[in-house]
Amino acid sequence: MKKREFLTVFLLLLPVLIYFIFLFIYPFIYGLLLSLTNDEGKFTFANFIKFLSDPWDANTIWITLKIAIPATLLNVLIAMPLAYYMRHGIKGEKLISFLLILPITLGSVFVAEGMLTYMGPNGWLNKILLALKIIDKPYRFTHSYLGVLLALIIQGFPFVFLMLLGYISGIDPTLEKAASILGASRWYIFRRIIFPLWMPGIAMATSLNFVMNFTVFPSAVLLGQPSGPTRVISIAAYQWAFEKFDFHMASAIAIIMGLVELIFILIVMLIRQRFFKIVATSGGKG
Amino acid sequence: MRKIKFSGILYWIAIFVYVFNVLGIIFTVVLNSLSKNWYTDWFPKIFTLEWYSYMAKEHDLPQLLFATFAVVISVALISLLIGYPAAYIFARYNFKFKNVLLSLLLVPMLVPPMTYGIPLAAMLYKLRLATRISGVILANLVPIIPYVVLILYPFIEQIDVSYESAARILGASRLRTFVKVLLPLTVPGIFTAALLSIVRTIAMFELTFLVAGPKSQTVIVALYYDAYAAGTRPPQAIDALAVVYFLITVTFLLIALKFASPTQFVYRGK
Render B129-157 in DSSP notation, one character per residue.
-TTSHHHHHHHHHHHHHHHHHHHHHHHHH
Interfacial A residues in 171-200 facing B (CB < 8 Å): none
Answer whether residue B247 shows pLDDT above 50. yes
Say if A159 is an interface residue toward chain B (CB within 8 Å): yes
**Cα distance between residue A100 and residue A117, in whole Å:** 21
> Which CATH number fits the domain that encloses residue A155?
1.10.3720.10
Contact B227 A125 (CB under 8 A): no
Residue A197 covered by a domain: yes
| pLDDT for B266 | 64
| pLDDT for B117 | 95
Provide the shortest C-alpha distance from residue B22 to chain A (in Å): 7
Which residues, including other chains, have CB under 8 Å from residue B37's CB and lie 6 or more apart? B44, B45, B46
Say if A276 is an interface residue toward chain B (CB within 8 Å): no
At the fourth CATH level, the homologous superfamily of domain B50-265 is MetI-like (1.10.3720.10)
Provide the shortest C-alpha distance from residue A285 to chain B (in Å): 31
Contact B118 A117 (CB under 8 A): no
Asked if A256 and A53 count as a contact pair (C-beta separation under 8 A), the reply is no
Contact B82 A15 (CB under 8 A): yes
Asked if B14 and A78 count as a contact pair (C-beta separation under 8 A), the reply is yes
Q: Band of the pLDDT at B4, cuts 50, 70, 90? A: low
| pLDDT for B263 | 67
> pLDDT tens across B59-117, in order?
889 999 999 999 999 999 999 999 999 999 999 999 888 999 999 998 998 899 999 99
Asked if B223 and B241 count as a contact pair (C-beta separation under 8 A), the reply is yes
Nearest CA in chain A to B108: A24
Which residues, including other chains, have CB under 8 Å from residue A111's CB and lie 6 or more apart? A103, A151, A154, A155, A219, B25
> pLDDT tens across B29-61, in order?
999 999 887 877 888 888 889 999 999 888 889
Contact A12 B86 (CB under 8 A): yes
Provide the shortest C-alpha distance from residue A222 to chain B (in Å): 6
Q: Cβ contacts (< 8 Å) between B32 and chain A: which residues?
A: 117
Q: Cβ contacts (< 8 Å) between A252 and chain B: which residues?
A: none
**Cα distance between residue B54 and residue B57, in whole Å:** 5
The 8 Å CB, 24+ separation contacts for B38-45 are B39/A122, B40/A122, B42/A124, B42/A127
Nearest CA in chain B to A35: B119
Provide the shortest C-alpha distance from residue A280 to chain B (in Å): 23
| pLDDT for B105 | 92
Q: Cβ contacts (< 8 Å) between A203 and chain B: which residues?
A: none
Nearest of B243, B240, B174 to residue A5 by alpha carbon: B174
Asked if A111 and A152 count as a contact pair (C-beta separation under 8 A), the reply is no
Structural domain count, chain A: 1
Q: Which helix (H) or strand (E) holds A241?
A: helix A233-242
Asked if B243 and B30 count as a contact pair (C-beta separation under 8 A), the reply is yes
Asked if B185 and B91 count as a contact pair (C-beta separation under 8 A), the reply is no
Nearest of A165, A157, A122, A148 to residue B18 by alpha carbon: A157
Contact B19 A99 (CB under 8 A): yes
More confident residue, B252 or B260: B252
In this structure, chain B runs to a length of 270
Closest CB to B122 among A104, A211, A247: A247
Asked if B196 and B264 count as a contact pair (C-beta separation under 8 A), the reply is yes
Which residues, including other chains, have CB under 8 Å from residue A210's CB and lie 6 or more apart? A68, A69, A72, A261, A264, A265, A268
Mean pLDDT on B254-260: 87
Crossing angle of helices B98-110/B133-157, nearest 10°? 130
Residue A83 covered by a domain: yes
Closest CB to B142 among A24, A82, A85: A24
Contact B122 A27 (CB under 8 A): yes
Domain of A274? Answer: 55-282
Asked if A81 and B242 count as a contact pair (C-beta separation under 8 A), the reply is no
Contact A105 B253 (CB under 8 A): yes
Nearest CA in chain B to A116: B25
> pLDDT tens across B151-194, in order?
999 999 999 999 989 999 999 888 899 999 999 999 999 999 99
> pLDDT tens across A64-83, in order?
999 999 999 999 999 999 89
Residue A122 covered by a domain: yes
Q: Cβ contacts (< 8 Å) between B25 and chain A: which residues?
A: 103, 111, 114-115, 118, 154
Q: Cβ contacts (< 8 Å) between B21 and chain A: which residues?
A: 118, 125, 154
Least confident of A49-63, B68-82, B223-237: B223-237
Q: Cβ contacts (< 8 Å) between A37 and chain B: which residues?
A: none
Say if A236 is an interface residue toward chain B (CB within 8 Å): no
**Cα distance between residue B63 and residue B142, in whole Å:** 25
Nearest CA in chain B to A31: B119
Share of chain A above pLDDT 70, in %: 96
More confident residue, A224 or B8: A224
Provide the shortest C-alpha distance from residue B26 to chain A (in Å): 6
Residues of chain B with CATH 1.10.3720.10: 50-265
